[in-house]
Amino acid sequence: MAVNVPAVKVPLIGVGSVFDMLAGRTRPAPEWMKRSGLQWLFRWMQEPRRLTRRYLLYNPLFIWHFLLQYVRVKHY
């Protein structure tokens, strides 16, 4: 996000699930999972019904569209 601030010319702030954690609705992932890049897995285990579609459908779609755009831009 910090890299993109000059391009969009507005302040950006990423909050993710911090509001739910501060409100006590969800627990933060253990430190070893955070260090290992597995915080997403911890969140998925806590809310599989809500996050399964996002992780299994929308994330691959995002990657696919990103790659298509990357290939198109590289050819110009």
Q: What is the pTM of this model?
A: 0.61
* Domain hosting residue 34, numbered range: 5-74
Domain count for the chain, please give it.
Answer: 1
Quick one: 65 exposed, middle or buried, by C-beta within 10 A (0-12, 13-18, 19+)?
exposed
State how far the alpha carbon of 38 is from the alpha carbons of 13, 30, 44, 67, 70, in Å.
22, 9, 10, 24, 27
Q: What is the pLDDT of residues 32-54, one digit of tens each?
A: 999 999 999 999 999 999 999 98
Say how many C-beta atoms besides its own lie within 10 A of residue 29's C-beta. Answer: 20
Provide the pLDDT for residue 18.
84
Banded model confidence at residue 76, pLDDT cuts 50, 70, 90: low
Mean pLDDT estimate for the chain: 89
Q: What is the pLDDT of residues 4-13, one digit of tens each?
A: 888 888 888 8
